[in-house]
Amino acid sequence: MVGNGNSQSGAPAGRPSSSAAADFAARFQASARVLWLIAVGIVGDRARAEDVVQEAAIVALGKLEQFQAGTNFTAWMGQIVRFVALNHARKEQKASLVHDREALEQSIRSDRSNGQSGELRLTRRGELPPDQEWFDDRVVRALKAVAEIPRACLLLRTVEGLEYSEIARLLGIPEGTAMSHVHRTRRMLRERLAAMQPGGGRAKDTQE
């Protein structure tokens, strides 16, 4: 167990005992992927997500005595990650939202003007054009226009395959809200990516 509500003996104030720290480390490693996904969902950037998880770990190490044995460690830690991540996100929210919308619109215009679709356009010599963009990049760019919590819901569901009840617990929202965030975000992404097809149409199937 990480903590039991009592202060740990034998450790300086504010520092966990070695056994509690070892237990924390084991639990942290088991939850790390989910914690990172919460962070990257909220801050929208892989490197910053690592900073967030690190900062949350420091906060948690200072509050180990608050963790109740028998409760869900990932949920407790996820709450800390969420608060830290939201603090990070708020600092840059205004600028990044404007910037991201502009970036998204720019990318859609650029993709349309380049005539990009899923199939590669080869040059006359049968080589790839140097400015070939990647579908994956377009998905990531489109995701930047999504708000933090819906984005985190989508990633936890799609990448980690968590149940909606678990996502709801981690993010402190109702289960139905987690589900509708995921569905709405998926639909939005499909529409955005369809809009990037030449002519703004849907995928080739619709032309059959």
| 3-class SS letters over 80-111 | HHHHHHHHHHHHHHHHHHHHHHHHHHHHHHHH
Closer of 98 and 135 to another protein (Cβ):
135
Choose the stretch contacting another protein; rule: CB under 8 A; options: 47-55, 68-76, 101-109, 167-175. 47-55
Residue of 59, 60, 38, 62 whose CA lies nearest to 50: 38
Closer of 105 and 137 to another protein (Cβ):
137
Structure tokens at 152: 């985190």
Asked if 48 interacts with another protein (CB under 8 A), we say no
How far apart, in whole angstroms, are the C-alpha atoms of residue 86 and residue 39?
Answer: 9
Q: What's the one-letter identity of residue 9?
A: S
Question: Quick check: 182 and 190 in contact, CB under 8 A?
Answer: no
Shortest approach of another protein to residue 177 CB, angstroms? 12
DSSP annotation of 76: H
Subset of residues 59 to 118 that bind another protein, contact rule: CB under 8 A:
59, 61-62, 84, 118
| R_g of the chain computed on alpha carbons | 21
176: CB partners within 8 A, 6+ apart: none
Query: What mask of x and - would describe binding to another protein in positions 132 to 171, judged by CB under 8 A?
Result: x-xxxx-xx--x----------xx--xx-x----------
Shortest approach of another protein to residue 19 CB, angstroms? 14
For the chain, the first-to-last Cα distance in angstroms comes to 60
Binder among 55, 65, 92, 100 for another protein (CB under 8 A): 55
Which positions lie near another protein, rule CB under 8 A? 14-16, 21, 25, 28-29, 32-33, 36-37, 40, 46, 50-51, 53-55, 57-59, 61-62, 84, 118-120, 122, 124-128, 132, 134-137, 139-140, 143, 154-155, 158-159, 161, 179-180, 182-184, 186-187, 189-190, 193-194, 202-206, 208
